[in-house]
Chain A
Amino acid sequence: MGKHYLPNLAQRDEMLKEIGFSSIEELFSDVPEGMVKEFNLPEGKSEYEVFLELNEVLSKNKTVLEMPSFLGAGTYFHYVPAHVKYLIERSEFLTAYTPYQPEISQGMLQALFEYQSMMAELYGLPVVNSSMYDWGTAIAEAALMSVRLHRGKRKRFVIPKAISPEKKAVIETYTRGANLEIVEVPWDERGQLDIEKLKESVENSAGVYVEMANFFGLVEENVREIGEIAKEAGAYFVVGADPTMLGIFEAPGELGADIAVGEASYLGNPMNFGGPRAGVFAVRNDKKLIRQMPGRIIGMTRDAEGKRAFVMTLQTREQHIRRAKATSNICSNEALVAVASAIHLASLGPKGLRELGEVILKNTAYLKKRLGEVAEIPFEGLYFKDVPARFEKPYSEIHEALLARGIHGGYYIGKHFPELGETALFSATETTRKEWVEVLIEALKEVA
């Protein structure tokens, strides 16, 4: 099957003959004897049959449109405006490769330049690459970069203990080859990064990473101070931020970040069961930093007639030129995801991004208030999107009871953070409905 994708199947023999071959087998005569095999695979199907089959399989998934869901913990249900989806499905964007030939790829190049520019505005750092795989790999690349900036003489990278287990696992795997020592700084009794402990670990570190809201959703109050401590110790300061915060919270660049990272797919992209996503990677306008940056960067230049044009630039950092000495191995990135986030950002504008942040902040506060009626909130403070709630009962029992009522509760974090006991992260965004919170709290009153 699939003949409808293969125009020359009908002319196969003619074409073979024309170039002096008598059979297809002859084209494979360089393959060692016996290596060509019959595969044990299903037969192909008609498009209609596949359509029916996959629709049936996918209908076995229960979507967040069908059940109130309070899951967050690094992946959030945001609404994607219809025109964003519509635009990135334009085949000229969708079916193009990386823009190796700039003259015929100006559309994608400009769209990516605009993405870089908008993220530069959000993060307050003027140099942004055209995407990493996701936020987690972006942190890992920042760790490796800070070590390179110290010419390998410092190998310690400091992260908060209150970080997503996903991200932590990625950082560990990515930095093992370079023999980095990853040091975790715990939270204090208020859930904030423990400044005294930070001071103990920061010595001789290549970089210090902190998030503007930690894994528990708690807004980090001392970002600027943490940066000062890092800098005093000669470490690079890496700040992680959810872009949807940055309409209302100060830009990482203004808070002292040398490098900022984040997750672009929170804007303009659906959850897609966790992927694709796109990592934001931004740095100060400093040649030393730019030279050590990973990933593709789009620059503005001019064409032979002096007209403005865009092109992939500063490529001598990259694998196709520097090979083993490249700043990263990344080649294909998450370009279309990045463009979707840019289109969404352009639609929001400064006012919309502020409003979005405010709505999320208020919805989170409301969720926290209501959760407080039925559970203990381990830390006081300002929350963005995620709120931890601690229960007396094993959370698995509560989860079961909620699911039985058609509600998807929060993400259990007791496994990764046993010191927090039976705690789950519940999340709100602009998509959260009051009725959902209502049914959740009513259910929790019964079962928790």
Chain B
Amino acid sequence: MFRQAKWDEPLIFELSREGRVGYTLPKPIEDVDVEIPEKLRRKSKLGLPELSEPEIVKHYTRLSEMNYGVDSGIYPLGSCTMKYNPKINEEIAGHPGVAYVHPYQDERTVQGALRIMWELEQWLKEITGMDRFTLQPAAGANGEFTGVSIIRAYHLDNEEPQRDEMLVADSAHGTNPASAAMAGFKVIEIPSTEEGTMDLEALENAVGERTAGLMLTNPNTLGIFEDEILEIAKIVHKAGGLLYYDGANLNAVLGKVRPGDMGFDVVHLNLHKTFSTPHGGGGPGSGPVGVKDFLKDYLPVPLVSYDEENDRYYLDYNVPKSIGKVKELYGNFAVMVRALVYLKVMGKEGLKNASEIAVLNANYLTRKLLGTKGYELPGKKLRKHETVFSAEPMKKETGVTAMDVAKRLLDFGLHAPTVYFPLIVHEALMIEPTETVSREEIDAYVEALKRISEEAYNNPEVVKGAPHNTAVRRVDDVLAAKKPVLSWRMYLELKEKGEVDY
């Protein structure tokens, strides 16, 4: 049985003891007299904790022991591609030539960094069938905003300001509509069919002279390949719109199919998913955006270019219609380094193998689980890199929800799938094993899901009361929203008033 560490670890503020220090600092290089004007000098309390280094190390080590990562076990969060993060990536990313380099250094002193960015772009171009990339976006959503801003700039440039509608699939990730809205678009949702793919008739009816574009991921968030993608592209292009590829699901077709060949004009990728860089408990990520040739003049500045004659890489600000910047500087460079290391190790065959095994694993899991009481598989049976089951029958028959199933999985030391997404599937369990888990791990996952089904029908309380074996029991998120305690400061105030007893 899995048992997660339960440390009852106090907040670091509660561990504080006056006078302890966890640092040493160099002395000022000269003891210059500097006066801070009275009205600017800090007078308010600075309630930081006071601890020594060994205490700090123990505190965070204990916290880490109450956290589950890809290295702890299977982490099949659908849409997140939680594949193994190779250790060589970390080793190279820790090189002083990464860490101790300033972004404004003279180009001649950062040829290595620029070359890494340029090389990464060449890989990404071939992988996606796009002609030019920016590596500036910090994550997928930042990339989406970049992409749709480029689409907006393009239409404005073509004197078509009326193109203010962005179409998104009803199965789309929330960032798609949110990014489009941020770029000033009105968002129109296109429904999916029973089969789980885009409803072409609805798409035909939705497009028109106000259509700026369509945002789509392929395979879609059900893990189903949009087999009418060429028809979709035709409809959108004929209406004068552009096609945007949300690359969150690229792991399904990596090294096999290129979004550019599907008809997409703009693509964002998630280096923190498909390209094996660690997700850091929420970030940093990196969300490069690639475009077809006719859009490259709108990319953010600077791009990285190569001057062959002088064998020189340089930051290229000569982007005539650039949308500007979506993030400071050049993007999350240390993440790019990791992705390039991964690509170089994998190579052409390796990438193809990765997506094939990812798809095999998802289908293997699907077929093994299919027919288990309480779970059903909406849409087509053939999946790509992920699969979405619905626990709707289980909920109807036993009251056990997808969330309960997720929590119970934790008890077995298995991370839950993504739940309640995509929104079009009730009680969704979205499972993406990735190519880096073994068959035995998938078998164990299926076994656990089957066992939970049995429990749901025979002993539902054990599922509804899950998890039992994690650092804490089911967390009260309703209370968290009703009585926000968002910092130590707020906690102390509420505690004083007797409003919290935890």
CB distance from B61 to the nearest CB of A (A): 7
Residues of A within 8 A of B473 (CB): 103, 303-305, 307
Residues of B within 8 A of A318 (CB): 174
> Which residues of A171-230 are within 8 A (CB) of B?
172-174, 176-179, 212, 219, 221, 223-224
User: Contact at B502–A334, with CB atoms within 8 Å?
Assistant: no
Residues of A within 8 A of B22 (CB): 346-349, 352
A433 and B27 CA atoms in complex are apart in Å by 10
Contact of A137 among B327, B367, B474 (CB under 8 A): B327
Interface centre among B258, B300, B344, B488 (most CB of A within 10 A): B344
22 A-B pairs whose Cβ atoms sit less than 8 Å apart in the complex: A5-B436, A7-B436, A27-B356, A28-B256, A30-B224, A41-B348, A41-B351, A44-B348, A45-B345, A75-B329, A92-B68, A92-B69, A100-B418, A166-B328, A176-B184, A177-B182, A306-B501, A316-B481, A345-B48, A348-B23, A350-B50, A433-B29
Is A53 an interface residue, CB under 8 A from the partner? yes
User: Contact at B112–A300, with CB atoms within 8 Å?
Assistant: no
CB within 8 Å for A302 and B95 given contacts A120-B488, A166-B329, A355-B25: no
Residues of B within 8 A of A394 (CB): none
A92 and B126 CA atoms in complex are apart in Å by 34
User: Contact at B341–A126, with CB atoms within 8 Å?
Assistant: no
Interface centre among B29, B356, B438, B476 (most CB of A within 10 A): B29
User: Contact at B472–A103, with CB atoms within 8 Å?
Assistant: yes
User: Contact at B140–A331, with CB atoms within 8 Å?
Assistant: yes
A301 and B478 CA atoms in complex are apart in Å by 9
A432 and B25 CA atoms in complex are apart in Å by 12
Residues of B within 8 A of A63 (CB): 96-97, 99-101
User: Contact at B502–A107, with CB atoms within 8 Å?
Assistant: no
Does more than half of chain B's interface fall in helix, strand or loop, or is it mixed? loop
User: Contact at B350–A44, with CB atoms within 8 Å?
Assistant: yes
Is A247 an interface residue, CB under 8 A from the partner? yes
A283 and B359 CA atoms in complex are apart in Å by 45
Interface size class, chain A: 35 or more
CB within 8 Å for A335 and B63 given contacts A2-B345, A32-B229, A273-B101: no
Contact of A219 among B40, B72, B465 (CB under 8 A): B40
Q: Which 4 A-B pairs have the closest CB atoms?
A: A44-B347, A335-B282, A177-B184, A336-B280
User: Contact at A349–B50, with CB atoms within 8 Å?
Assistant: yes
User: Contact at B406–A101, with CB atoms within 8 Å?
Assistant: yes
CB within 8 Å for A250 and B281 given contacts A93-B64, A105-B68, A166-B329: no
Is B378 an interface residue, CB under 8 A from the partner? no
Residues of B within 8 A of A322 (CB): 174, 178
> Which residues of B345-404 are within 8 A (CB) of A?
345-354, 356-357, 359-361, 363-364, 367-368, 380, 382
A130 and B283 CA atoms in complex are apart in Å by 10
User: Contact at A2–B141, with CB atoms within 8 Å?
Assistant: no
A190 and B436 CA atoms in complex are apart in Å by 60
A43 and B346 CA atoms in complex are apart in Å by 8
CB within 8 Å for A298 and B486 given contacts A15-B364, A27-B363: yes
Contact of A273 among B102, B225, B341, B353 (CB under 8 A): B102
A366 and B485 CA atoms in complex are apart in Å by 43
User: Contact at A50–B487, with CB atoms within 8 Å?
Assistant: no
Contact of B272 among A46, A59, A118, A332 (CB under 8 A): A332
Residues of A within 8 A of B479 (CB): 301-302
A-B contact count (CB 8 A): 733
Residues of A within 8 A of B239 (CB): none
> Which residues of B92-125 are within 8 A (CB) of A?
92, 94-106, 108-113, 115-116, 123
CB distance from B74 to the nearest CB of A (A): 12
User: Contact at A277–B328, with CB atoms within 8 Å?
Assistant: yes
User: Contact at B63–A111, with CB atoms within 8 Å?
Assistant: yes
CB within 8 Å for A272 and B141 given contacts A24-B356, A92-B67, A103-B475: no
CB distance from A94 to the nearest CB of B (A): 5
User: Contact at B112–A61, with CB atoms within 8 Å?
Assistant: yes
Is A124 an interface residue, CB under 8 A from the partner? yes
A177's nearest neighbour on chain B, judged by CB, is: B184
CB distance from B170 to the nearest CB of A (A): 10
Residues of B within 8 A of A346 (CB): 12, 22, 48-49, 51, 56, 59
B139's nearest neighbour on chain A, judged by CB, is: A332
Residues of B within 8 A of A278 (CB): 284
User: Contact at B486–A126, with CB atoms within 8 Å?
Assistant: yes
A253 and B491 CA atoms in complex are apart in Å by 18
> Which residues of A64-95 are within 8 A (CB) of B?
64-65, 67, 69, 71, 73-75, 77, 81, 83, 85-95
User: Contact at B56–A57, with CB atoms within 8 Å?
Assistant: no
Residues of B within 8 A of A345 (CB): 48
Is A417 an interface residue, CB under 8 A from the partner? no
B5's nearest neighbour on chain A, judged by CB, is: A107
B111's nearest neighbour on chain A, judged by CB, is: A60
CB distance from A194 to the nearest CB of B (A): 19
User: Contact at A65–B256, with CB atoms within 8 Å?
Assistant: no
Contact of B486 among A20, A75, A299, A358 (CB under 8 A): A299
User: Contact at B488–A117, with CB atoms within 8 Å?
Assistant: yes
CB distance from A5 to the nearest CB of B (A): 5
B-contact bits for A265-285, CB 8 A (1 contact / 0 none): 000001111111110000001
B-contact bits for A301-327, CB 8 A (1 contact / 0 none): 111111111110111101111111110
CB within 8 Å for A133 and B327 given contacts A37-B256, A311-B475: yes
Residues of A within 8 A of B340 (CB): 54
A-contact bits for B42-79, CB 8 A (1 contact / 0 none): 11111111110100110111111111111110010100
CB within 8 Å for A166 and B325 given contacts A35-B257, A403-B106: yes
CB within 8 Å for A352 and B25 given contacts A41-B127, A303-B476, A304-B474: yes
CB distance from B142 to the nearest CB of A (A): 6
Is B305 an interface residue, CB under 8 A from the partner? no
User: Contact at A300–B502, with CB atoms within 8 Å?
Assistant: yes
Other 4 A-B pairs with CB < 8 A, given A124-B44, A299-B481: A32-B229, A93-B69, A169-B325, A349-B51
Is B467 an interface residue, CB under 8 A from the partner? yes
Residues of B within 8 A of A308 (CB): 502
A53 and B43 CA atoms in complex are apart in Å by 53
Residues of B within 8 A of A403 (CB): 106, 108-109
A5 and B201 CA atoms in complex are apart in Å by 43
Contact of B46 among A104, A116, A350 (CB under 8 A): A350
User: Contact at A5–B435, with CB atoms within 8 Å?
Assistant: yes
Residues of A within 8 A of B382 (CB): 27, 29-30
Contact of A64 among B40, B59, B101, B344 (CB under 8 A): B101
User: Contact at A352–B184, with CB atoms within 8 Å?
Assistant: no
Is B307 an interface residue, CB under 8 A from the partner? no
CB within 8 Å for A104 and B347 given contacts A273-B103, A274-B329, A348-B22: no
User: Contact at B11–A117, with CB atoms within 8 Å?
Assistant: yes
Is A439 an interface residue, CB under 8 A from the partner? no
User: Contact at A73–B104, with CB atoms within 8 Å?
Assistant: yes
B-contact bits for A243-275, CB 8 A (1 contact / 0 none): 000111111011000000000000000111111
A21 and B470 CA atoms in complex are apart in Å by 38
Contact of B325 among A20, A36, A173 (CB under 8 A): A173
A28 and B362 CA atoms in complex are apart in Å by 13
Is A444 an interface residue, CB under 8 A from the partner? no
A361 and B71 CA atoms in complex are apart in Å by 43
Is B84 an interface residue, CB under 8 A from the partner? yes
Is B460 an interface residue, CB under 8 A from the partner? no
User: Contact at B279–A332, with CB atoms within 8 Å?
Assistant: yes
User: Contact at B490–A91, with CB atoms within 8 Å?
Assistant: no
Interface centre among A45, A124, A273 (most CB of B within 10 A): A273
Residues of A within 8 A of B64 (CB): 87, 90, 92-93, 107
